[in-house]
Amino acid sequence: MPSSDHPATYKAYAFLEKGGNLQRILFNWQDPDPGEIVVKVIACGVCAGDENAKYSVLPGITYPIVPGHEIVGDVVAIPDTEKRWKLGQRVGAGWHGGHCQHCERCSVADFMTCENGLIHGATRHGGYAEYVTLRTEAVAAIPDGMDPAEAAPLMCAGVTTFHSLRNMSCKPPQLVAVQGIGGLGHLALQFSRKMGYRTVALSSSASKAELSKELGAELYLDGSKVDQGSELQKLGGAALIMCTAPSGEVMTGLMEGLAVNGEVLILAAVPGDTKLPLLAIMHKRASIRGWPAGNPADCEDCCKFALANGVRVMVNKFSLDEAQNAFDHLSSARFRAVIMP
């Protein structure tokens, strides 16, 4: 069994019951089975998707469960059968925790929509831990020279914005508007600008105006002062509106800001019903789309693009023993909380 030195036990923080707080637990070391590797966690981003583990939102969650699906670390144990991943290699893992290889979606290599797909930090233990066991098909290579604290959020927040944008119908230099300038939005602004789009930032106050322009926005529209949909129309309409913090009220107003054949892209889930202006959707031939993160190959592309183009990931760092504090700061961290075991 090729492996580096490892402890007999290791520490993690897990939800022990639905709705509870994170609790410190110990795992006994287990060597990886064929098709798995063990990674020493260096950084793990904290994502709103981690609330799925706390509240058992998704099917297949059993307790205790260690959350965390923005993982970066070094390979420390591999089975004798492993051919790709090497000891000491820097790797990452995101939302995608593995796929079945047998369902209809897997047959066309659309692994993110696998009918039996696994999720790190929900249906498999995640990265709020000193070590994590990963399925080999769910692992991404991290380029040399990347800060692990900045690479970790690229495994979900980054790839969600990067991979979705490159799959929309808009083409540079058309207008892309980014709604919500937080953990996803501050990355969406940069990816949009670096890809060559005219980029507009949409937020609900003036607090992020200066930063948004530093990150690539040519214009900042403060929803507390202007009608964002009308202002977008004055610019010719947006070919794409990326909604990273959507709500029913926001969505209704923004639909008016689309260009003909424009798309609204939903990148985060919100509770409750959303009412949409059906007449405007029909008149503009508008489309509403969603996008579920990306597979390991997409994560690798995202990291390479970010490194080559100077995309900045803004993080607040927490120790592993501060995991609950990091989780509690989901809405206030500027812009991504990252746990560093």
Instruction: Evaluate if residue 1 carries a pLDDT over 60.
Output: no
Q: Does residue 213 register a pLDDT over 80?
A: yes
pLDDT exceeds 90 at position 276:
no
Structure confidence at residue 65 (pLDDT): 98
* Predicted local confidence at residue 3, as pLDDT: 61
Residues whose CB is less than 8 angstroms from the CB of residue 13 and which lie 6 or more positions away in sequence, other chains included:
22, 23, 24, 25, 66, 128, 129, 320, 323, 324
Stretch 218-232: mean pLDDT: 95
CA 229 – CA 65 distance, rounded (Å) = 42
Residue 334: is its pLDDT beyond 80? Answer: no
Supply the pLDDT for residue 273.
Answer: 67
Would you say residue 216 has pLDDT above 60?
yes
Mean pLDDT of 117-126: 96
Using a pLDDT cut of 90, give the percent of the chain over it.
Answer: 86
pLDDT band of 282, cuts 50, 70, 90? confident
Q: Mean per-residue pLDDT for 213-221?
A: 97
Q: How confident is the model at residue 2 (pLDDT cuts 50, 70, 90)?
A: low
Look at the domain 9-156+294-340 and name its fold: Quinone Oxidoreductase; Chain A, domain 1 (3.90.180)
Residue ranges covered by each domain of the chain: 9-156+294-340, 168-290
The pLDDT score that the predictor gives to residue 6 is 84
What integer pLDDT is reported at residue 5 of this predicted model? 77
Q: Average pLDDT in the 273-297 region?
A: 86
| Average pLDDT taken over every residue of the chain | 94
Q: Tell me which DSSP letter residue 63 carries.
A: S
Distance of CA 285 to the CA centre of its chain: 29
**How many C-alpha atoms does 80 have within 13 Å on its Cβ side?**
1
pLDDT digits (tens, 9 = 90+) for 32-87: 999 999 999 999 999 999 999 999 998 889 999 999 999 999 999 999 999 999 99
Equal CATH topology for 9-156+294-340 and 168-290: no
CATH topology of domain 168-290: Rossmann fold (3.40.50)
Kindly indicate the confidence band of residue 249, based on its pLDDT and cuts at 50, 70 and 90.
Answer: confident
Which pLDDT does position 166 carry in this prediction? 97
